Amino acid sequence: MSKKVLIIGAGLAGISTGIYLQKQGIQTEIFEISGQAGGMCIAWERRGYRFDGCIHWMVGTKAGTPFYNLYREVHALEEDTVIYNARSIKTEFDGITYEIPMTLKPFKNFLISVSPEDSAKIEALCAEIETMITTNMPAGRPTGFLELLDILKNSRGFLNLARKYVGIHMRDYVEALKNSTLKSILYYLMPPQYSFFGLIMMLGTRMCGNAGYPLGGAHDVINRMEGYYRELGGNIHFSSKVDKIVLEDGKAAALESGGRLYQADAIVAACDMYDVLKNMLGGRFAHKQLDPLLESAELFPPITVASFGLNKKFNLPFSHNFECPEGIKIDSEKVSHYLNIRSFEFDPSSAPENCSSVMVVLESTLEYWQALRRENPENYRTRKEELAREVISALDKRIPGFKDAVEVTDIATPATYIRYANLYRGSWEGFAPTPSSFKYSIKKKIAGIDGLFLCGQWTTVGGGICTAVESGKEASRAAAKYLK
């Protein structure tokens, strides 16, 4: 009789787990809280316009690299998937627009033109980025001697950079610079409290074409993966919140969802870890790394996403960060003085012909939006409409004709993300990549429970698409080994 593994969550990690287990002949079923697959790898369509709520850049898009090969295994990418790599991004400081190149030599020349007095430190930074460009990011831990040799041969530069910089804050590097504009540019690229290694990794992967945007975005990535999982015989239960993980003799034996019990030989939790520990397991089990991280680690902040379908194209760059001195009131606590607009003009699937879609991401307050939606749904809808008008008005001052071009408006608040993806504290990508959080190597099991395996963005500091998929593969290996 074939073994069965039940998986909680149909996001990148959960579907990846299912794919690898189905390939091994192990039957799986996935329980997903929302009505569609994807988790935070999500896009939504409104009257022919598609808005991508996930992918800013996707590490591992360069053919032949370890993560690219991983994506191909789960059909996140296909051989003919077109990858868009932005050549530059724009930002404003003190009324001046700066175009930041996303290739190494122009990037170095640009920084030196901004701050000749910091040229020595800029040269040193770019040398480290070049090391990142010429090395491979390993896609997970080696499972054998040959994989270990490959990592030692091809990923040595990455490992050395991580060892050297993962414990250093951005501010430790930036505050040693002399030029204030250069400091602002680098803080725009990576916040001061994050690890300096994050900047080097992000720029290195983007500058060599290994962190691009796959045309079709999150919509096509997750559709390909879901389709492949179903081809392999997998099954997904949508709108199926898991209320309890049932244990028998210290083993994960069943799930309770919608008042029913579903028996399992093993369980993989590819979902919110707070929900797993505090709700599904009733707070009865400690986790040495997750407990302190969930208690006090910095998280990626809750966001509101304002999306607009435009009946024309404005020749906008992929990312443009506008100053907004007048400020936009997001909620009772947050006022934004910047508008970061992302344009998808390069992707034909994002809008009807000769049209375009754009998004503005705004840091928000979870409690405000949750309370407003819960206590007064009508005021919640009204406030979303007001916010949309304020963002449109601000953008129209900077992009003449923007207001008249808007055909479709959509506002997704932190309450929206909670409703669809059950995110702890509304965090869209889990634990932020700070030096203090990077000290934790999160174990993918819970002491005292056999047959329960953890994966997903809450099991890797910094989150990300590549690590979510890889963690699903790792969970499948652990579950398959347990079932032998």
pLDDT in tens, 257-306: 999 999 999 999 999 999 999 999 999 999 999 999 999 999 999 999 99
Structural domain contains residue 412 = yes
156 and 130, same domain (yes or no): yes
284 and 140, same domain (yes or no): no
Helix (H, G, I), strand (E, B) or coil at 316: coil
Structural domain contains residue 51 = no
Q: What is the pLDDT of residue 146?
A: 79
- Measure CA 249 to chain center: 37
Amino acid, single-letter form, for residue 196: F
Residues 76/221, Cβ–Cβ less than 8 Å: yes
**pLDDT more than 70, % of the chain:** 100
* Average confidence (pLDDT) over 451-465: 95
166 has a pLDDT exceeding 70: yes
Q: Of the residues 185, 208, 231, which one is the last residue of a structural domain?
A: 208
141 has a pLDDT exceeding 90: no
Structurally, how many domains does the chain consist of?
Answer: 3
142 has a pLDDT exceeding 80: no
For residue 234, give the CATH number of its domain.
3.50.50.60
406 and 453, same domain (yes or no): no
442 and 387, same domain (yes or no): no
pLDDT in tens, 228-240: 999 999 999 999 9
Structural domain contains residue 49 = no
**pLDDT more than 90, % of the chain:** 92
Q: What is the pLDDT of residue 147?
A: 80
335 and 417, same domain (yes or no): yes
For residue 173, give the CATH number of its domain.
1.10.405
Tokens of 74: 């789960």
pLDDT in tens, 267-277: 999 999 999 99
Work out the pLDDT band at 420, boundaries 50, 70, 90: confident
199 and 108, same domain (yes or no): yes
176 and 69, same domain (yes or no): no
326 and 389, same domain (yes or no): yes
Q: Of the residues 367, 386, 421, which one is the last residue of a structural domain?
A: 421
Structural domain contains residue 48 = no
Instruction: Name, in order, each residue with C-beta under 8 angstroms of 89's C-beta and a sequence gap of 6 or more.
Output: 99, 100, 102, 317, 318, 319, 320, 321
pLDDT in tens, 36-52: 999 999 999 999 999 99
457 has a pLDDT exceeding 90: yes
Q: What is the dihedral angle through the alpha carbons of 452, 458, 464, 469, rounded to the nearest 10 degrees? A: 10
400 and 308, same domain (yes or no): yes
Q: What is the pLDDT of residue 1?
A: 58
* Average confidence (pLDDT) over 95-110: 97
Residues 368/331, Cβ–Cβ less than 8 Å: yes
Structural domain contains residue 197 = yes
Structural domain contains residue 427 = no
Tokens 């749904």 correspond to what residue? 377
Of 463, 459, 336, the closest CA to residue 475 belongs to: 459
Element at 168 (helix H, strand E): none
144 has a pLDDT exceeding 90: no
* Average confidence (pLDDT) over 184-192: 97
96 and 201, same domain (yes or no): yes
pTM equals 0.95
Q: Of the residues 376, 401, 421, which one is the last residue of a structural domain?
A: 421
Structural domain contains residue 8 = yes
Q: What is the pLDDT of residue 208?
A: 96
Of 367, 361, 378, 282, the closest CA to residue 331 belongs to: 367
Structural domain contains residue 95 = yes
Q: Which domain does 384 fall in, by range?
A: 303-421
336 and 404, same domain (yes or no): yes
pLDDT in tens, 337-378: 999 999 999 999 999 999 999 999 999 999 999 999 999 999
Task: Count CB neighbours of 439 within 10 A.
Answer: 11
333 has a pLDDT exceeding 90: no
386 and 312, same domain (yes or no): yes
Q: What is the mean pLDDT of the chain?
A: 96
First and final C-alpha spacing in the chain: 13
